[in-house]
Amino acid sequence: MSTPDRLRRDGFSVEALRRLARERLPKPIFDFIDGGAEGEDTLRENESSFQDWSILPRPLNGAAARDLSIDLFGQRLSSPILIGPTGLAGLFWPRGEIVSAQAAQQHGTVYCLSHGSVCTLESLAAEHGGQRWMQIFIYKDRGFTRELTARAQASGYQGLVLTLDNQLIGKRERDIVNRFTIPPRFGPSQMLAFARKTAWWWAMRQELASLTFGNYVRADTPESAAQLAGKMGSLLDPGMTWQDVDAVRSQWRGPLLLKGVLHPQDAIEAQRHGVDGIIVSNHGGRQLNGASASVRALPAVVQALGGQLPVLLDGGIRRGSDIFKALALGATAVMLGRPHLWGLSVAGEAGVAHVLSLLSAELDLVMGLSGVQDIAQIRAAGLLVRNEAAAN
């Protein structure tokens, strides 16, 4: 059976793909993707809070043909589903970032590369002609923030995403229990975990030897990935302020997005500081446990901005109906974190392509059943009702 056929049969939903990823990956690596901070309350609520709202369909509106495309920063995207930045995608599948970006390009959407990619931002740019954004942080060494920004500009990245919610690294307890380190250490318990997953181990055997954070490695000061990983937390500056946003703004020519915004006042500030887009996000519940679920924070951010800036949302998107609800609440588009990594882990480029088409097909179905012809109508049609239990 061909890979696409197998994916259609066994990976019929994002949750089914998650189960397939669990079968293929060593437990510490699966948990690194899957897990969240502390008791994982925010992670769970990201997913469950979509149930705070229900759809009131209007099937007589005549929606025989549906158009999922959107305009974002002057570019036409085939659907409102983008791929968000996730570090170390190259640990889950050989050349993980590059094949994910290729799947995004095939689908006609944006791929956002993480600061913590295994490949360098330049090597992705060399192989990927599609729409790509670059994600950065504010470093204690502001020179390095400027350097990454300049490299992204020089390599033709069209958008820059400044992530705000990761300046201190969240307490991820599954990683503590699994003794998960980056890169994976080859102690007896890790060897046992890896040996159980032969397909992954065989595919990754060469990559593992040289696994690193590509963007941080400098020719003049070669550091091992282990040294870099140890330093990573201490490189970022929790003392950053709006002045840092101003500095990035003045350097970067092109759309600048802030990722990790939950407070409506920060959205208003962002607009004052010349930011072009907001990503409502809590880092997939991996950082501040107890932070608001993304979709719960969305309406206030949308209202604060009054339609002046595009608002993207990530966190807990697992179904087309989740996307529909996010758009009905005012999001311009959504970004995928874990779902694309589960697809990637199962089947590389074909797996990421499958996730994108699966969620698009689900969204298309929800639109058809709701009587909606295009993305703009999702918001305008007023088809969402807040459930009473959630409102109380």
Ligand X SMILES: Cc1cc2nc3c(=O)[nH]c(=O)nc-3n(C[C@H](O)[C@H](O)[C@H](O)COP(=O)(O)O)c2cc1C
Nearest to 84 by CA among 222, 361, 283: 283
In angstroms, the CA 91 to CA 219 distance is 22
283 is a catalytic site residue: yes
Least gap, CB of 78 to ligand X (angstroms): 19
Per DSSP bridges, beta strands 256-261 and 277-280 are: parallel
Question: Binding to ligand X (CB under 6 A): which residues in 45-104?
Answer: 46, 84-87
Annotated catalytic residue, options 107, 115, 128, 283:
283
Whether the upstream peptide bond of residue 183 has omega within 30° of 0, thus cis, is yes
The one-letter code for the residue type at 293 is: A
Q: For ligand X, how many residues bind (rule: CB under 6 A)? A: 26
Q: Residue 82 CB, nearest distance to ligand X (Å)? A: 10
Q: Are 89 and 351 in contact (CB under 8 A)?
A: no
* DSSP code per residue over 250-293: HH--S-EEEEEE--HHHHHHHHHTT--EEEE--GGGTS-TTPPP
49, 100, 109, 135: which one binds ligand X (CB under 6 A)? 135
Q: Which residues of 331-344 are buried (b: 16+ CB within 10 A; e: fewer)?
A: bbbbbbbbbbbbbb
- Minimum Å gap between C-beta 116 and ligand X is 4
CA 233/CA 137 separation, integer angstroms? 11
From the list 79, 52, 22, the residue with the least C-alpha distance to 358 is: 79
Nearer to ligand X, 37 or 366 (CB): 37
Who's near 64: CB < 8 A, 6+ residues apart?
368
- List the interface residues with ligand X, window 295-314 (CB under 6 A): 314
Measured from the CB atom, the residue of 235 and 369 that comes closer to ligand X is 235
The reply to whether 36 sits near ligand X by the rule CB under 6 A is no
Residue 343 in the binding site for ligand X (CB under 6 A): no
* Using rule CB under 6 A, residue 18 touches ligand X: no
- Closest distance of CB 355 from ligand X, Å: 11
Please identify which residue in 172, 283, 325, 354 interacts with ligand X, judged by CB under 6 A. 283
**From residue 97 to residue 116, what is the string marking binding to ligand X with x (rule CB under 6 A)?**
-----------------xxx
The reply to whether 317 sits near ligand X by the rule CB under 6 A is yes
Which positions touch ligand X (CB under 6 A)?
Answer: 32-33, 46, 84-87, 114-116, 135, 163, 259, 281, 283-284, 286, 314-317, 336-339, 341
Q: Residues with catalytic annotation? A: 283
